[in-house]
A and B are shown apart, each in its own frame.
Chain A
Amino acid sequence: MKPNLASLLDYYYESMYPELKALEEKRLSTMATLKKAAFILLLISLILFFVLHQAFMFKPLHAALVSGMSAFLIFMFIYRHESAGYSMLFKDQVIEKIIHFLDPSLIYSKMSSISELEYQRSELFLASYDRFVGNDLVMGKIEGVDVRFCDLHVEQKVRDTDNKEEWVDIFQGLFFIADFNKTFHSKVVVLPDIAERTFGVLGSWMQGMNVQRGKLIKLDHPEFEKFFVTYGDDPIESRYILSHSLMEEIVQFRTKVGKPLYLSFVDSKLYLAMHYTKPLFEPILSHSLLEFTSIKDYFELLNMIVSIVNEFKLNEKLWSKR
């Protein structure tokens, strides 16, 4: 049976609901603690404001900034500490259950991620990075195809004009690796097309000049070319990998998800990165899990990821891969 929303609804009420009630209690107590902390911190910061203003002769703006900022930082610290416990429970009782509902053979490990070596091997992002954090690794076989995916956040430390340190995102979102259904030896990288969209022919010329990436491969699928720019070592093998049907499927997938998509094909593997602006599998403290809608989004996201294998027909292996 293919998992769908209706069967998830049954599963939700039969297998998840009793445990979610316990989780809901945890959520409410966390919320209560946070509210209490916020109230006390507000009082303290008000007192601090008056003390600074009256006794130490701070200007009202400065006093407000100092007291407000310190209260905010302390609150963030408490928030992180308090919500971490809830988040762990949430992953055990919601994310893991949804994954097993989609495919019981998949293994979920909330603290692990793909390795840095795999990230580098994909060659999707060439910029050097200083922080590599990932979690929520899922691995196993979907329809006989080896897959691994996780939530990944890669950042770079830069100094701004005032010589202040700043963390800049290189990538945040879903990182997905699967066995590809064809054997190949060269490397193909497919990136969102920004230059050609913005600058037209001039942009296309600029793409050809990208020495870091290798040869520009122009493909005979107009819609695919609109979304993506492709680089590869070998013009024939690049087209062997990106067959007409695969390009069609990638375009459809890209249209469906509506997010920037990065793909690469290296060592007979497919690497896919999808950009998100928030962590993928974290709970929202203000939403009750006793409402089905708050579970639905996680299910749809996971279902979309698991369906990549089918959408790209990775299970239809060519002769030499069987």
Chain B
Amino acid sequence: METFLIVTGVIIFIIIVMYNTLISKRNQVDNIFAGLDAILKKRYDLLPNLVATVKEYMVHERITLEKITELRSKATTNTLTDAETVALDKQLSSMLGNLMVAVENYPTLKANENFLHLQGTLNELEEQISAARRAYNQSVTDYNNAIQMFPTNFMAGFMKLKRKEVFSIPVMERQNVDVKNLFQK
């Protein structure tokens, strides 16, 4: 009888530990996603300002600017899923990248104090977003490992936990800039 009680006790303890580990890993993912979302919002807040500032100067970049405005308004509606937020952010990042390259053709804009400030703030936000993406990926990897590895996978099955997708980090962010390659293009 005693052995039976001890064994049951140990099994219940293990189940509780597994359950709590899985929940804490899932919450960690949500938590970091919320952090990422907050930084993305900061960038959305900055965009109208940026568009207004560059519009007068960048006559040939109308389409890019319109696209940025459109993406922003899509992103700020609250009905997006995590995956959609991720996809939108990716598009917006590449759009902004293009815009910053195009700025090189407008010397007067490059000297504009207001624009320089915006550009600086954007660069910094970009760094923070990149950090948040990396943090998110790590937490998702931890979570996915937990729900797929033995023995927590059985528990995860009961709890109906699903795999989550990691961000694909833009290749640009992972590599150092290869200047030689740039010139050859």
Contact = CB atoms under 8 A, between A and B. Distances in A.
B128 A220 contact: no
Interface stretch (B9-17, B89-97, B131-139, B153-161): B131-139
Residue of A219, A244, A318, A320 most packed against chain B (CB within 10 A) = A244
Nearest to B120: A319
A240 B124 CA distance: 10
A222 to B, nearest CB: 13
A243 B130 contact: yes
A236 B39 CA distance: 10
A320 B127 contact: no
A219 B139 CA distance: 11
Interface in B36-88: 36, 39
Interface string A226-252: 000000000111111001110010000
In terms of DSSP, what is the predominant structure of the interface of chain B?
helix
Given A244-B173, A244-B174, A245-B176, A236 B35 contact: yes
A240 B131 CA distance: 5
A141 interface: no
Contacts of B27: none
Contact of A319 (B35, B39, B121, B135): B121
B135 A235 contact: yes
Interface residues of B, number: 23
Main secondary structure of the interface of A (DSSP, over half): helix
**Range of interface residues on chain A?**
10 to 19
Interface in A42-95: none
A219 B131 CA distance: 11
B154 to A, nearest CB: 21
B36 to A, nearest CB: 7
A243 B124 CA distance: 12
Contacts of B36: 236
Contacts of B174: 244
A254 interface: no
B113 to A, nearest CB: 13
A182 B132 CA distance: 16
B98 interface: no
A110 interface: no
Nearest to B173: A244
Which interface residue of A182, A220, A238 has the most chain B CB atoms within 10 A? A220
A26 interface: no
A236 B137 CA distance: 11
Contact of B131 (A237, A319, A320): A237
Most buried by B among A218, A240, A248, A322: A240
A318 B123 contact: yes
Given A240-B127, A240-B128, A318-B127, A235 B32 contact: yes
B139 A235 contact: yes
Interface string A241-276: 001110010000000000000000000000000000
Contacts of A320: 120-121, 124
A318 B124 contact: yes
Contact of B127 (A218, A243, A322): A243
B161 to A, nearest CB: 20
A207 B127 CA distance: 28
A225 to B, nearest CB: 11
Contact of A220 (B39, B124, B137): B137
A245 B177 CA distance: 11
Contacts of B128: 236, 240
B124 A319 contact: yes
Given A220-B137, A235-B138, A236-B32, A243 B120 contact: no
Nearest to A183: B124
Nearest to B134: A239
Contact of A239 (B124, B135, B176): B135
Nearest to B121: A319
18 contacts: A218-B142, A220-B137, A220-B138, A235-B32, A235-B135, A236-B132, A236-B135, A237-B131, A238-B135, A240-B127, A240-B128, A240-B132, A243-B131, A248-B176, A319-B120, A320-B120, A320-B121, A322-B120
Kindly list the 8 A-B residue pairs having the minimum CB-CB distance in the complex, ordered from nearest: A319-B120, A240-B131, A239-B131, A235-B135, A236-B135, A239-B134, A236-B132, A236-B35
Interface of A: 182, 218-220, 235-240, 243-245, 248, 318-320, 322
